[in-house]
Structure formats: C-alpha cells, structure tokens
Amino acid sequence: MLSYFLRRLILVLPVAFGVSIICFLLVQIAPGDPLTAIMPVDATAEEQAAMRAAYGLDKPLPVQYAIWIGNLVQGDMGRSIATGRPVAGEVFGAVQNSLVLAISASLIAFPIGVFLGFLAGYFRDTLLDRAVTAISITGVSVPNYWLGIVLVIIFSVQLGWLPSMGAGPGGSQEWEWNWLHIRHLVLPAITLAVVPIGIVARTVRALSGDILTMDFVQALYAKGMSRFDVLCHVARNAAATALSVMGLQLGYLLGGSILIETVFNWPGSGFLLSNAIFQRDLPLLQGTILVLALFFVAMNLIVDVAQAAIDPRIKRN
C-alpha cells in the first residue's frame, strides 16, 4: 500500500507543475490591464512604466513565471494589486471559509444521496425508485443560486429564522464554531448540498441496482446470508466508484461555489475569486486559482489511495 501511495504521489508532481503553468498563463492572456484599477487616469508613461516594473509586469512571460514559481516555493504569493495585502493571507483565509462550507454541504449531501441511491437501487423500477429519480433530477436541474435566493426570501425575509448574509454576526469575515456562526452556515450549506445529493443518489442507484442483479448476490442469498449481510457486500462493491464521485463533488463544492458565496456574501474562495476577476487583480487571481486547483489534485490523490484500500483489485492493476 505504501509503494502504491508513493507511485501516485510521484505522478502528482508533474500534474501540479502543469497546473501551475496553466493557472499562470490563463490569467496572463486575459484581456485588460491589471494596473488600470490602481493607476491614476492622468498617469504619465514614466509612472506607468515604473508601476509595471514594481510588479514585474515589464519582464517576458517566462521570466515572470520563473520569478512567480520561485517565490511560490518559498511561500510568497505576492501582494494584491487592489489592496496591497499579502495574497497568501487572503487566499488561505478565504479557502478556510470555503472548506467549512464545502464540508458542511458534504455532510448533508453524501449521507442523504447514498441513502436515497441505495433505496432506489434496492427497490428498482418501483414507485419509490421513480420518486427518488425525480428528486435527483430536480436537485441537479434547479439552479442553486436561484434556490439560494428563494431560501433567503422564505427563511430570512418572511420567517426571520436564519440570517441571510455573511459568515457571522455583524458581517464577520472569520469563521468560529459557535451557534451564532452556525446559523449563518445553514442556508448556504443546504443550497450547496442540493446538486451533490442528486448526483450521488443517481450514481449509487445505478451501481447498487446493477450489483444486485449479479450472480454472486444470488449465491450469497443461496448460502443463507441475511439481507443485511448481502447489502453490506453490495455496498463494499459499490464503494470505490461512489467514493470517486463523492471526492470529485467535494472538489467541485470548494471550487465551484462562487455563485452561492456571492448570493450569501460568504467570505470564501469563490467570493474572493469573483472580486479578483472584476478588479483584474493578477496576483490574487493566480494564487486563488492555483490553491483551488492543487486542492482538486490532492483530493484525487486521496480518493485514489482510498479506492485502493477499499478495493485491492485497483492496487493490483
């Protein structure tokens, strides 16, 4: 198992290097001048040149990348053009808030999705199966930002049960584990969990339904195993693929929550990325995109290792 992990870890290194190149180039080739937001309208050519030199934008792209990656290895992501604050502090603070939201949504979505999927797979082609399928399709199809607005109108505006914006009381930007902050988490977490519930439920339904029709399941019943023991065997055979889907969904929840974080004014990586795009803040854009992409790569590594631990056939292959 250790040798398998080390092999996967070695394969991750060139992927991470390629991700850094793509993140750097995608931001660089975007139209517009990143210094427009901070330079005065009447800035002279000399002042513009001095500003470009200060941020290293006067150098060729390969040199800029080499400087950027060299500083990155030392933990320096540069400074935000818009605010002048260190990018690392802003990015990791926002990613921490996004992780809280993504993990909370996962804790809601994955158990419900797995339960509904197994229920529909076991009672395949019944009214219950059709009901679960309808719920899954609805969850995947409904725009989550629209659902977030509806939940705000119902539970915040009309009923006044839950707050609608921010990560804490008074528009707090920092997360703390107490009831006042958890109340701000409820609506965005439920909104973000709806799509993964549908995806996980449909995946588990297809897996469990197919496995239940295999010959080894009938053999287990013939040996006198209880229904619960047979379902445990089915769950173990479906776990590797289901885990892969859930790992990808966790990555999407962290990196793809920009609309939800904007609707609820949640101070996460999506909200930070949205502001950086509008402000054309190159260092902040590069740092945020790179951290989210590397998190996705790390999640794939964790899922690969977990799959091999669950299903030894993957490790042998």
Looking at the domain assignment, is residue 165 inside a domain? yes
CA dist., res. 138 & res. 125, Å (int): 18
Instruction: Count the domains in the chain.
Output: 1
Average pLDDT estimate for 233-258: 79
CATH number at residue 214: 1.10.3720.10
Tell which residue, 194, 190, 197, has the closest CA to residue 155: 190
Task: For residue 79, give the 3-state DSSP assignment.
Answer: strand
- Cβ neighbors of 112 (< 8 A, separation 6 or more) are 193, 197, 201
Say whether pLDDT at 167 is over 80: no
Q: How far is CA 201 from CA 129, 144, 195, 302, 310, in A?
A: 11, 17, 10, 22, 20
For residue 62, is it within any domain? no
| Domain limits for position 250 | 92-310
Output the average pLDDT for the chain: 81
Task: Please state the pTM of the whole predicted model.
Answer: 0.80
Using pLDDT thresholds of 50, 70 and 90, give the confidence band for residue 42: low
Reduced to 3 states (helix: H, G, I; strand: E, B; else coil), residue 80 is coil
| Mean pLDDT along residues 110-130 | 87
Q: Classify residue 38: in a domain, yes or no.
A: no
> What is each CA distance from 254 to 54, 70, 234, 235, in whole angstroms?
33, 26, 30, 27
Provide φ and ψ at 86, rounded to 5°. -60, 135
**pLDDT for 237:** 78
- Statement: residue 27 has pLDDT above 60: yes
**What pLDDT does residue 281 have?**
77
* Mean pLDDT on 226-239: 80
Q: Mean pLDDT highest for which of 51-60, 187-196, 301-310?
A: 187-196
pLDDT at 179: 79
Q: Which two tokens stand for residue 59?
A: 């150098």
How many Cβ atoms from other residues are within 10 Å of residue 244's Cβ?
16
pLDDT at 112: 92
Do 268 and 101 meet the contact criterion of CB atoms below 8 Å apart? yes
Residue 208 located in a structural domain: yes
Residue 181 lies in a domain: yes
Residue with tokens 């993957």: 314
Lowest mean pLDDT among 28-32, 93-97, 132-136: 28-32
Which pLDDT value is given to residue 172?
66
* 315 close to 4: Cβ distance less than 8 angstroms: yes
Tokens standing for residue 187: 């609506």
Confidence check: pLDDT of 117 > 70: yes
Question: Of 296, 291, 228, 282, nearest to 67 (Cα)?
Answer: 282
By the 8 A CB rule, do 187 and 156 touch? Answer: yes
- Within 55-86, where are the H helices? 61-73
In a domain, 253, yes or no: yes
pLDDT over 70 at 313, yes or no: no
pLDDT in the model for residue 165: 81
Residue 294 binned pLDDT confidence (cut-offs 50, 70, 90): confident
Cα(78)–Cα(279) distance, integer angstroms: 16
Per-residue pLDDT, averaged over 62-86, amounts to 80
- Residue pair 163/156 in contact (Cβ under 8 Å)? The answer is yes
Q: For residue 137, is pLDDT > 60?
A: yes
pLDDT (0 to 100) of residue 30: 66
Angle at 109 between CA 106 and CA 110, to 5 degrees: 80
Residue 193 lies in a domain: yes
**CA 189 centroid distance within chain:** 13
In the chain, % of residues over pLDDT 90: 2
Is 225 inside a domain boundary? yes
